[in-house]
Amino acid sequence: MSFVHQESATLTTNSSGESTGFVGPLNGLVHAIEYHWTDFSTGGSVVVKGEESSRPILTVNLTSTTQAIWFPRSVTHKIADGSTFGTEAQVPISGERVKFVVSSGGNAKTGSFRVLMA
């Protein structure tokens, strides 16, 4: 049986509106990512990926001034030829930190993210 566990990171942007933060290291499947808005600019964006593998997890625009939750999934592929299968699977993370990169978040603005793993 697998239990959901969580890791959180609070990021504060620099004068260029950028910030980088990490959670982990983690092992398991990414179930969800929660965003808790404090005062990031709604014109900002965030890229979430594995720190070492650069495995893409999520890329979104921060268009809301409220809490948001995303359920990132990766595309599956056929064994025979590698073509897209049309279904989705949770993103695996194995022994690495999850990296959050915020851009255009505004000067000295804050927000937090929580990764839910299963």
End-to-end Cα spacing for the chain: 10
pLDDT of 86 > 80? The answer is no
Contact 33, 116 (CB under 8 A): yes
Mean per-residue pLDDT for 41-48? 92
pLDDT in tens, 11-44: 999 999 999 999 989 999 999 999 998 899 888 9
The yes-or-no verdict on residue 1 having pLDDT over 70 is no
Q: What pLDDT score does 2 carry? A: 67
pTM of the model: 0.87
